[in-house]
Amino acid sequence: MIALSGVAARVGAFMLRDVALTVPAGGYGVVIGPAGSGKTTLLEVIAGLLPVTAGRVTIAGQDVAGVPPEAREVALVYQHALLFPHLTVAENVAYGARDAAHAREVHARLGIDALTARPVASLSGGERQLVALARALARRPKVLLLDEPFSALDPRRRAEVRRIVRQCHREWGLTTLQVTHDFTEAGLLGDVAVLLDSGAVLQAGPPAELFRHPATASVAAFLGAENIYAGVVTERSTAVDGMPRELEFHTSGLVLHAIGDAVPGPAHAVIRAEEIVVARDAASGSARNRVRARVVELATLGALTRVVLDADGVPIIAALTTRSADELALAPGMEVTANWKAMAVHLC
Amino acid sequence: MIGGRSRAGWLSVLVALASSALLLFLVGPVLALVGVGGGAGAPQLLHDAELRRVLGLTALTATGATLLGVLGGTPLAWLLARRAFRGRALLSALLDLPLVLPHPVAGIALLLVLGRESVVGGALLAVGLRVVGSPLGIIVAMLFVSAPLYVSGAREAFAKVDPRLEGVARTLGDTPMRAFQRVTFPLAFRGLLASAVVMWARAVSEFGAVVVLAYNPKVASVLSYDRLTTGGLADALPVAAVLAVLALLPLTALRTLRRDEGRA
């Protein structure tokens, strides 16, 4: 288990402030956040490479204050691999390996047998990341810290290596914490997600929870929510016999119906693009929210099409399957109906 | 466009002329020295016992000074490259001081501290170590003027090694000393060696501080000066030519090291 409470650390003018997170033993945590938010610094603090100025870091239940990195049973993979340039690939992987058989197994699993005799300088960025991963896994640590370890791999190889790492993590009982910019990766890999910004944790929890119920509008924006509106929440009905409260959210020119326990007053409404259904028929669908809008823009991204709508000056972004968009024969200027359920409106 | 090309052409000519003039100024006297004195210098090396002895002593004392410089300078350079501490800038400035002092002044400062009448010099004499007018004095003078070059070069060599590599080594089980042995030192080695060569070459060529602390026994620079003042240019030329050729050896070694460093 990795647990941090009230952790502060300083690197030059940058500070980590009051960081708290828990990755259970054998769990896979992901840290997401914009560039410069302190993600790498956080990993270095856990690895013992940076001292904490306040708070507590525990690894496997042990307070590691004063425990040097070599005694923490952690391995760290940097985004830029940081292979030892004076050693060959095989020597890099064997550097911290506890036994040669395990190092060979890691070579085989990651498919880097063909690279072993090569000097590090001759490797591509992706190959370097694979070797850095192998070097860390060959150590067989209890805690694996990964700083965007797949960023230089092509998409096909990335998916494969992601699967291999997840497999090693599970089979060897590792506790893993990975930094990523990729929301999909966070959703695919993580049991726990931590959103970091300006050195502070904005929100932590299961990835699905973060995506569906962002704590603030800025968290929603960072997590890629397409429709975020500022407005005022009013209560339409109180909760009766286990039925949720009905709420209204008033934003400029639009009234959204929502349910939940949001407090009346100024707030933000978040609707993910995939929750919005587009229809040509004005009366189509049974969703609580229904507005007429004009198609402004269409952008096809493989299987998905992003549709930008205008509802009396309020922009609405919907994500449809490209097949649906084709069937609807959507085109800029066309009048359509956008529908979404009350429970798709998240108020924060 | 044509005007632009014409201006660029003139600029190239000016750059080439200025570069050639300086190069000729720097290389010309050395080539003249080797050309005029070299013919006599090589045979003289065979039968001039004093010259051979002086060259041997010069190489020996310069090597001694370099070893001492490496021994004390390496940890100091590491400290300056890796640790932030109060007074680091002041310490760096102090280390550069011997480089900017006129070298006879450096010799006088050393004489003040290590001369027979001084406390340290007296104490050393009491245990049988004579600094003034001895090979030890030559080593001390060479060390004083050339060690800052080693420290500066070694500091740069350590600074070039990404400290995160040491961090990775620590997470892979290395203690700080082991990480230094397995990562930092091998990666900085060429830079350290190049700095040691620079220090050795500077020690070999030292005259000002050595002549104040130990005119005798003579080192090569003092011998060439001595022959110039006693026997004139004809006597000094062969010795100077041999010294100029010998000076090419560490310079060539240095260039080779730096070229390899660039490849690595």
CA distances from A236 to A130, A230, A244, A256, B213 (A): 56, 19, 11, 11, 98
Angle, vertex CA B31, rays to CA B27 and CA B32, nearest 5: 120
- B-chain residues within 8 Å CB-CB of A128? none
Please give the DSSP secondary-structure letter assigned to residue B184.
I
Tokens of B197: 């060569």
Q: What is the mean pLDDT of each run of 10 residues along chain B (264 residues)?
A: 71 92 90 81 81 94 97 96 91 90 94 92 93 96 97 97 96 96 96 94 93 94 92 86 80 74 50
Identify which of B161, B168, B184 has the alpha carbon closest to the alpha carbon of residue A47. Answer: B168
Task: Quote the pLDDT of residue A142.
Answer: 95
Closest CB from B174, B183, B187 relative to A70: B174
- Chain B residue with Cα closest to A41: B164
Helix (H, G, I), strand (E, B) or coil at A64: coil
Question: Least CB-CB distance to B170: which of A69, A78, A82?
Answer: A69
Distance CA A199, CA A9 (A): 9
CB neighbourhood size of A109 (10 A): 17
Q: Which domains does chain B have, with CATH numbers?
A: 45-105+134-263 (1.10.3720.10)
- Name the residue in chain A with its Cα closest to that of B187: A86
Question: Tokens 């300078």 sit at which residue?
Answer: B73
Q: Any CB–CB contact under 8 A between A12 and chain B?
A: no
pLDDT of residue B4: 65
- Residue segments in chain A with a per-residue pLDDT below the cut of 50: none
Of A74, A86, A136, the CB nearest to B187: A86
Mutate to test the interface with A, among B82, B166, B172 (most CBs of A within 10 A): B172
How high is the pLDDT of residue A284?
Answer: 66
Chain A, chain B: beta-carbon pairs less than 8 Å apart:
59
CA-nearest of A16, A55, A13 to A37 is A16
**Res B259: pLDDT:** 67
A183 in contact with chain B, both atoms CB, cutoff 8 A: no
**Residues 6+ away with beta carbon under 8 Å from A344:** A271, A272, A275, A276, A289
Query: For residue B168, which residues of chain A lie inside 8 Å, CB to CB?
Result: 76, 78, 82, 84
Return d(Cα A12, Cα A268) in angstroms, integer.
35
pLDDT at B264: 44
> Pick from A74, A84, A121: which is nearest to B165 by CB?
A84
> Mutate which of A50, A80, A83, A84 to test chain B, going by most B C-beta atoms within 10 A?
A84
Q: In this predicted structure, what is the pLDDT of residue B30? A: 85
The alpha-carbon gap from A40 to the nearest alpha carbon of chain B, in Å, equals 12
pLDDT at A212: 85
Alpha carbon distance B22, B52 (integer Å): 34
Rounded CA gap, B179 and B148, in Å? 26
**Tokens matching residue B207:** 């005259």
Q: Which residues on A lie below 8 Å from B175 (Cβ)?
A: 68, 70
Q: Determine the pLDDT at residue A230.
A: 95
Cα(A344)–Cα(A319) distance, integer angstroms: 14
